[in-house]
Amino acid sequence: MADDRDRLEELRQLIEQHNYRYHILDDPLVSDAEWDALMRELLELEARHPGWVTPESPSQRVHGAPAAGFNAVEHAVAMLSLDNATSADEIRAFDTRVRKFLGEKSPIAYCIEPKYDGIAVELTYERGVFRIGSTRGDGRTGEDVSHNLRTIRSVPLRLRGSPPQVLDVRGEAFMPLAAFRRLNEERLDEGLQPFANPRNSTAGTLRQLDPKVAAARPLEIVIYGIGRGHDELGFGSQGESIAGLREFGLKTSELFCASYEIDELIAFHAKLENERDSLRYEIDGSVLKVDDFALQKRLGELNRSPRWAIAFKFPARQSTTRVIGIETSVGRTGALTPVAVLEPVAIGGVTVEHASLHNQDEIERLDVRVGDTVFVERAGDVIPKVVRVVLDLRPGRTRRHKPPENCPVCDTPAVRPEGEVVKRCPNPNCPAKQRERLRHFASRGALDVEGLGEKLVDQLIDAELLTRPSDLFGLKIDRIAALDRMGQKSAQNLVSAIENSRDVSLGRFLYALGIRHVGERIGEVLAASFPDPITLLDASKQELEEVDEIGPTIAESLRLSLDEPENRAEFLQLVDTLRIQSGPELEVGNESEALAGKTVVITGTLSIPRSQWKKRILAAGAKVTGSVSKKTDYLLAGENPGSKLEKARECEVEVVGEDRMEELLG
Ligand code: IVH
């Protein structure tokens, strides 16, 4: 009894402290799973001793207090949180509970959608005009972050159609993985601490006082619920409301399934989990909801969570393991990056053996030493990183990391330019840099040579078939086929993938060169101002700086790279070899996720470059793969489609032309 009392107090303090770190400081000490476990324990204790529950207990509110510096916004209808399940059995038990409560023997309809891993927000529209945007806060009172939410392009400032006088919609603001990765790269470059995951970077962005910061970071939103206005709208179900909200011009989930069959809903969850790594953004599970609003109303809520919904969480993507060494890797631009070598650990279905430590400052901030037990987190296909050290488990003897004086690959003395946080290898011919440049050149956002992953690049380099990007276009099938684990067929595929990659926009080509500070966005910006690559090659630093968004750092970096005689020769060689498209890439609508979860194969000669079709199809949420199988949803076929067409017929895959694909993309 006395033990329970002590533990109760301890739990309340711990949870409050974690809430503060998480919601106010954006610097959590424990994983979500650990927090959930503490909360569960508290709820169990309080259930056993109902007399001990006080209004101040963290169990009595949804989340942390609004931060200072923002106006408080009262939510007219409370924003609830969700109960969690982690297994199919718990989902079945949830269904049983729901039906028992309703006295319903036959199956009822549920819908299921992704659980977006961002920050819950409410948007208030008055007469269809965006007025206030707020965070959930403690569920009753949140923070006014209108100035930041209105910078999000998928937040309509005016609704379409005729919405009710006052409409509150709820959803999740989140940062897509690509933007998260870019933001962290920039922060590291500026010597700032990187964000642990996209959710933290979203929270950090929404909490900015200056909306310019948010405007420069492409957040997105997805809407899944309604506060005030719910009754006036007269929607009958969650499914209907999603369709209705979309009519108002709001962005809702494209990944959605409604069914009476629990098994089908569980299968949808499993499918989401399978596709988790290929999504553009992080999801941490799915949310199962009773579809019918009348039934939702009868079910009501318990402990600040609705009885009609449950979060079906994926296994955590954080885990603990031991650091067995700290090595230094050499990046594309020569940056020397410390990497933790880990005791292998499975995180969300992937074995993790390395994690980035970013730079020496980060090592010191985390105080990571060889021998330490650490928390490792993985998000999407982002490189795993060390989040924190478990100091309680530090052994008596640990070893601190000493940054190397020389490049670990070519032994050239490393330099740390003034004002920079990172040490670099200055040798332009460092084999490590060459390797990374080649990997980058072939990678997804760059030339996107299908099937040419890092392993194969390494094999080609080791076989001395490849030193610079332009070598790719002279590779011979026989030489490739002679490599380990390759054959005539895969060699042929590789050569045709390389051939296909020749069609490339100027922006992508510039990005593919791997010049420091020239990311995808800057590649596009340069392409828009220098439609002819040769003019860019000869542009002075001053001419470069005249371009909007190009500052002295980027201009300097461009000149430094392009003035290197070998780089200049390679640039000219590539301009000769590739079929570079000048001008901006086709506008890609960000509202469409029309092909979410679909798999598309492209074949034949098309009226616009294949790379542009590919980009548009990817932007619509589909995967684009190189060969037709039963899993393919569409074959986009141009003229002379060849063997893929036959294969598509065999596999009963729908074959579409360019016009039909336009329609599908909406
Ligand atoms: S419905 C009353 N649907 O999960 C139920 N929530 O732990 C309201 N979330 O606060 C939530 N995706 O931040 C719902 N498709 C989705 C969601 C979702 C993410 C978040 C939301 C909520 C939290 C609950």
546: left (phi over 0), alpha (psi -120 to 50) or beta: alpha
Query: Looking at residues 239-259, what average pLDDT do you find?
Result: 92
On the question of pLDDT at 578 being above 90, the answer is yes
409-444 per-position pLDDT tens digit: 999 999 988 878 788 999 988 999 999 999 999 998
Helix locations, 282-359, DSSP H: 293-299
How far is ligand 1, taken at its centre, from the CA of residue 165, in Å? 25
Residues in contact with 148: Cβ distance below 8 Å, sequence separation at least 6, in sequence order: 133, 205, 206, 208, 211, 214
Pairwise CA distance, residues 298 & 310, whole Å = 16
184-206 per-position pLDDT tens digit: 888 887 778 888 889 999 999 99
**Are β-strands 503-505 and 385-389 bridged in parallel, bridged antiparallel, or unpaired?**
unpaired
Residue nearest to atom 2 of ligand 1 (CA): 80
- Best residue among 22, 81, 111, 119 to mutate for probing ligand 1's pocket (most ligand atoms within 8 Å of CB) is 81
CB crowding 480-492: b at 16 or more within 10 Å, else e: bbebeebeeebbe
- Best residue among 82, 296, 303 to mutate for probing ligand 1's pocket (most ligand atoms within 8 Å of CB) is 82
Residue nearest to atom 22 of ligand 1 (CA): 81
Q: How far is CA 412 from CA 404, 424, 650, in A?
A: 11, 10, 57
On the question of pLDDT at 28 being above 80, the answer is no
Query: Looking at residues 506-525, what average pLDDT do you find?
Result: 91
Atom of ligand 1 lying closest to residue 62 CA? 10
Q: Which of 464, 467, 422, 196 is nearest to 330 (CA)?
A: 422
Instruction: Identify the H or E element spanning 48.
Output: helix 32-48
Q: Exposed, middle or buried: residue 626 (CB in 10 Å: 0-12, 13-18, 19+)?
A: middle
pTM for this entry: 0.68
Instruction: Between 512 and 444, name the one with better pLDDT.
Output: 512
On the question of pLDDT at 78 being above 90, the answer is yes
3-state class of 487 per DSSP? coil
Residue nearest to atom 21 of ligand 1 (CA): 120
Scan for tokens 């050569």, then name that residue.
495
How far is ligand 1, taken at its centre, from the CA of residue 115, in Å? 6
User: Which of the 8 DSSP states describes residue 382?
Assistant: S
Query: Looking at residues 374-380, what average pLDDT do you find?
Result: 88
Tally of CB atoms within 10 A around 72:
13
Range of weakest confidence among 12-21, 292-301, 394-403:
12-21
401 touches 361 (CB < 8 A): no
On the question of pLDDT at 585 being above 60, the answer is no
How far is ligand 1, taken at its centre, from the CA of residue 85, in Å? 13
How far is ligand 1, taken at its centre, from the CA of residue 135, in Å? 13
Tally of CB atoms within 10 A around 443:
18
User: Which of the 8 DSSP states describes residue 139?
Assistant: S
Distance of CA 520 to the CA centre of its chain: 16
45-64 per-position pLDDT tens digit: 888 888 888 766 777 653 33
On the question of pLDDT at 141 being above 90, the answer is yes
412 touches 394 (CB < 8 A): no
Residue nearest to atom 17 of ligand 1 (CA): 115
Scan for tokens 């959605």, then name that residue.
256
Query: Residue 591: what pLDDT?
Result: 42
Atom of ligand 1 lying closest to residue 115 CA? 12
How far is ligand 1, taken at its centre, from the CA of residue 286, in Å? 9
Tally of CB atoms within 10 A around 506:
25
Sheet holding 654-656, edge to edge: 623-625, 599-603, 634-637, 654-656
Query: Looking at residues 383-394, what average pLDDT do you find?
Result: 90
Scan for tokens 């979500």, then name that residue.
32
Residue nearest to atom 18 of ligand 1 (CA): 115
How far is ligand 1, taken at its centre, from the CA of residue 296, in Å? 15
Q: Which of 435, 420, 607, 442 is nearest to 511 (CA)?
A: 442
334 touches 425 (CB < 8 A): yes
Q: Which of 580, 566, 585, 590 is nearest to 665 (CA)?
A: 590
How far is ligand 1, taken at its centre, from the CA of residue 81, in Å? 7
Range of weakest confidence among 409-418, 502-511, 519-528, 534-543:
519-528
Q: Which of 345, 285, 350, 342 is nearest to 319 (CA)?
A: 345
Residues in contact with 485: Cβ distance below 8 Å, sequence separation at least 6, in sequence order: none
Distance of CA 581 to the CA centre of its chain: 29
Residues in contact with 356: Cβ distance below 8 Å, sequence separation at least 6, in sequence order: 337, 339, 340, 383, 384, 385, 386
600-659 per-position pLDDT tens digit: 988 888 877 777 788 788 878 788 777 888 888 999 998 878 788 888 888 889 999 988
Distance of CA 19 to the CA centre of its chain: 24
Atom of ligand 1 lying closest to residue 289 CA? 1
Atom of ligand 1 lying closest to residue 120 CA? 13
Query: Residue 23: what pLDDT?
Result: 57
Could you say which of 105, 115, 297, 647 is catalytic?
115
464: left (phi over 0), alpha (psi -120 to 50) or beta: left
First to last CA, the chain: 63
Atom of ligand 1 lying closest to residue 301 CA? 2
Residue nearest to atom 23 of ligand 1 (CA): 81
How far is ligand 1, taken at its centre, from the CA of residue 252, in Å? 13
How far is ligand 1, taken at its centre, from the CA of residue 170, in Å? 9
Atom of ligand 1 lying closest to residue 306 CA? 2
Atom of ligand 1 lying closest to residue 119 CA? 13
Looking only at Cα atoms, what is the longest distance across the chain?
A: 81
Q: Which of 648, 655, 433 is nearest to 561 (CA)?
A: 433
Pairwise CA distance, residues 220 & 149, whole Å = 9
> The tokens of 510 are what?
């510039």
46 touches 55 (CB < 8 A): no
Atom of ligand 1 lying closest to residue 253 CA? 15
Query: Residue 67: what pLDDT?
Result: 47
Residue nearest to atom 16 of ligand 1 (CA): 115
Pocket of ligand 1 (CB under 6 A): 80-82, 113, 115-116, 120, 136, 172, 224-225, 287, 306, 309, 311
Q: Please compute Rg for the chain using Cα positions.
A: 27
Query: Looking at residues 80-91, what average pLDDT do you find?
Result: 94
Q: What percent of the chain has pLDDT over 90?
A: 57
Active site residue 455: no
Q: Which of 460, 463, 495, 464 is nearest to 477 (CA)?
A: 495
388 touches 357 (CB < 8 A): no
How far is ligand 1, taken at its centre, from the CA of residue 40, in Å? 18
Tally of CB atoms within 10 A around 538:
12
How far is ligand 1, taken at its centre, from the CA of residue 171, in Å? 7
Query: Residue 143: what pLDDT?
Result: 93
323-361 per-position pLDDT tens digit: 999 999 999 889 999 999 999 999 877 899 999 898 888
Q: How far is CA 636 from CA 283, 604, 662, in A?
A: 29, 8, 11
Distance of CA 475 to the CA centre of its chain: 34
On the question of pLDDT at 462 being above 60, the answer is yes
